[in-house]
Every structure is written in C-alpha cells, then in structure tokens.
Amino acid sequence: MKITPLSNVMGAEVTGVDLSKPLSASDRDELYQAFLQHLALCVRDQRLEGVGAFLDAARNFGQPKVQHLESYRSDQYPEAGVITSEDRDVKDGKRIIRGTMFHTDESFIAEPPKATVVYAVTIPSKGGNTRYVNLQKAYETLDEATKKQIDGLMAIHYYGKQRPGRKVPSLTDEQLKNTPPVAHPVVRINEETGAKALYVHETMTDYILDMDRSESEALLRRLYDHSAQSPEFQYSHEWRTGDFVIWDDRATLHAATADYAENEKRLLYRTMIKGGPTHQHAAIGRRAA
Ligand code: SIN
C-alpha cells in the first residue's frame, strides 16, 4: 500500500489496495489512521460491482448508516444512495445537482455521520470536481480572541432554515416535520484525535444559541467567510473512474461543482458512516431574538 498526500491542505491518495476483497487487520488499521490524519482518502482504481460491493468496502471504515432523508436512497440498500446527473427535485421535478453549497453531511440531525464515502462509477470528461474545506485548519488559523469567543458556543442546525436565493433539495412536509432543529458545538472536538474544527456551515447552520440574532448573524458570516471563502483551506478533487473516496464529516466541508456538460453522465455511489453525539448536552436553548 502506498499513501501519498494529494495537497498541502488535506487528502491523500492510496494505491495498491483492492477493496473488493477482505483487508487484513493491519491494512485496515493503516487506512483508518491515514483517514484520521489526512481527513480524506482517495483509494484509486477500484472495481466494485454494484452498490452491495461498495457498501462492503465502506464497512472497512465503520458502519454505514441509513440516509436520514428517503429521497435519493437506494431502494435495495437504504444505507446507500446514488448521486446522478439525472437527479430530480422531489417537489418541482426539475433536474438538480445536489450539494453545490459547502456543507457537512446531515448536520441537521442530532448524531451526524462521521464520514461520507463515494465511489465514482461514471465521470464526465471535464468538470464535476468535489471541493473540500479543511475545518481544522480553518479553526487553527482564527485569531485567539475569536477562538476564545466561540469555544463553548452552541449553534442550531436546521434543514428548514431560511436561505435567500440558495437552493438545497426540497423536503416533503413529512420529511421536514421529522427533521427538527438540533444543536451542535461551534467548535467540534474529534473524539478520536482530539483535534478541534469549526463546525458551522451556511447550508444548515441557522443561528448561535443564547446570542442576539444580529450578533449571531455577524459572527456566523465571519466564520463562513473565513472557512469557505479561503483557497488556503481548500482542496478540489478531480474524479477518476474507480476512485473510492472517504472524507471526515467532523472536520471538513464539501461541495459538488455544477460545471459539467448537461449531456454528460456523472454517477457516484454514496454512503455515510455512522457517527455519534457531537457534544455531551444536546438540549436546545432559546432562539436568538
Ligand atoms: C455530496 O456528497 O454532497 C456531493 C458530492 C458530489 O456530487 O460531488
């Protein structure tokens, strides 16, 4: 097995591994440690025959979880979904490229996934990269006064938040009812490495608890701009067919890029690895005024 960094920011390429076969315990451990260290791994040149084989490969990193929202789930395997250039919005039926705003997966539930795993089946000839942000670096480079200000703060994440002019896939009324607001720490500590990361993103973070609404908005805007607008924290993954990529949802944001030709196909299998609580006390406090 060879592990080579993909950039100075995050991510590593892995070659010499065949995920269609059971791994030895030492190879599995080496891969897992590399995942924790680099926050994203791309295992090249995989040949996984179907969603079942993909899920088996993903199990090397933990237990795949059932996707919270039924839309875009695989019928046969509720832990898996398929991202395709044919995706349609559940409400208006229009073609949609999902996940184009920087986000971390399912932060709108109380126990968000630890990681997301994606396998590239068909890739357009040009474009369709996935872009990542290293939220540990974003946290580390904040000034000391801001670190002091945000350590210990909690923020509400909510799928149904107002996002003027921004598009995320619609939810049915039933799905929205089953997806109430949840609280997470603004600075998330990785329970496996102890590393701190900013854990806010414009797609799902609504407001900071126990803070005046305008103060909350100004602080969040500053944190969003610091993290998601700075190229120095970003890595853009150019997909190759057969790439098996896992990234750490506790410490990264990601976004799809809607820049490929409409007549070209893009098809990826996707699952998320079960996570745990983001903090000890998940009670939701009062809404910002
Ligand atoms: C996602 O998992 O949010 C989208 C990744 C992609 O399609 O590039």
79-105 pLDDT tens trace = 999 998 887 877 787 888 888 999 999
pLDDT the model gives residue 287: 46
pLDDT the model gives residue 190: 94
pLDDT the model gives residue 90: 76
Query: In the chain, what are the domains?
Result: 2-283 (3.60.130.10)
Q: Are 268 and 98 a contacting pair, CB within 8 Å?
A: no
Which of 71, 98, 129 to probe ligand 1 with, by most ligand atoms within 8 A of CB?
A: 98
Distance of CA 62 to CAs 36, 55, 162, 219, Å? 13, 10, 34, 35
Question: What's the token pair of residue 39?
Answer: 């926050």
Q: How far away, in angstroms, is 135 Cα from ligand 1 center?
A: 17
Q: How far away, in angstroms, is 256 Cα from ligand 1 center?
A: 5
Q: How far away, in angstroms, is 200 Cα from ligand 1 center?
A: 18
Per-residue tens of pLDDT for the chain, all 289 residues: 999 999 999 999 999 999 999 999 999 999 999 999 999 999 999 999 999 999 999 999 999 999 988 888 888 999 999 998 887 877 787 888 888 999 999 999 999 999 999 999 999 999 999 999 999 999 999 999 999 999 999 999 999 999 887 678 888 899 999 999 999 999 999 999 999 999 999 999 999 999 999 999 999 999 999 999 889 999 999 999 999 999 999 999 999 999 999 899 999 999 999 999 998 544 444 444 4
Question: What's phi and psi for 160, nearest 5 deg?
Answer: -85, 15
Q: How far away, in angstroms, is 189 Cα from ligand 1 center?
A: 24
Distance of CA 196 to CAs 112, 156, 259, Å? 16, 19, 33
The residue contributing the CA closest to ligand 1 atom 8 is 256
The residue contributing the CA closest to ligand 1 atom 5 is 256
Query: Among residues 12, 5, 62, 64, which one has the least CA distance to residue 42?
Result: 12
Exposure of 27 by Cβ count < 10 A (0-12 exposed, 13-18 middle, 19+ buried)?
middle
Could you give the strand order of the β-sheet that contains 182-185, starting from the edge strand earlier in sequence?
182-185, 154-157, 205-208
